[in-house]
Amino acid sequence: MEGSRADAKHIADELCQAYLSHSLTRRGYSDAIPRTMIAACLSADVSRVFKFLQPLADSFEDLAPDVFHDLIPCLHITARTAYKLFDHLALEIFADGVNWGKIAALYALAGAVAVECVRRNWKRGVRSVYVCFSTFIREHLLEWIVDHDGWNGFMEWSGRRQQRGNDHFWTFAKIVGLVVLGGILLAAFAFGK
């Protein structure tokens, strides 16, 4: 797996499509997956990274369902507010720096927001979430990903996390969950009017 900017962006985009599809399917909304996001199969590189990302992002959603599935409905997600809202939440997650765990949490957030779009009968919102996510990665995280050994760096970090056990992860996940909660509450206030 190459570590170039273009490769990192391509993998991030495919991972987003795969995670949004996974998240929608997991919540019983597989019929809401846009045709343009349905891939026959993931590339070998993306499939390898997804095997690390998917359980980690799922665990964020499962660890803090009140953050990801109870508070997100409080947000006023529309075609007009989607980008600003997602950007605001994502910037809140990374306000004190970037790390791989927060990047995984961003995928979980994208999945939860996509599910909420479908729950509100706005299936086209799933595509909007993908575009917002892709734009955020390109504008805010791509250089960091490349500087930290690309997606190979993520897999190495994830492997080390698994070796250390779950205690460190749960502490980290709770902290990230609180940051996301703060961002959602601020966004609900700012955009829920």
Q: Which residue has the higher pLDDT, 134 or 65?
A: 134
136: domain CATH number? 1.10.437.10
- Which tens digit of pLDDT belongs to each residue from 94-121? 888 999 988 998 998 889 888 888 888 8
Q: How far apart are the first and last CA of the chain?
A: 45
Query: How high is the pLDDT of residue 66?
Result: 63
Q: Which residues contact 79 (CB under 8 A, 6 or more apart)?
A: 122, 124, 125, 128
> How distant, in Å, are the alpha carbons of 35, 46, 50, 56, 97 from that of 155?
29, 11, 9, 11, 19
Q: Which domain holds residue 154?
A: 5-191
**C-alpha–C-alpha distance, residues 136 and 9, integer Å:** 11
Indicate whether 187 pLDDT > 60.
Answer: no
- pTM of the predicted model as reported, rounded to 2 decimal places: 0.83
| Number of residues in the chain | 193
User: Does residue 4 come out as left (phi exceeding 0), alpha (psi in the -120 to 50 range) or beta?
Assistant: beta
Number of H helices, E strands in the chain: 9, 0
- Joined together, the tokens standing for residue 85 give 């809202």
Give the number of domains in the chain. Answer: 1
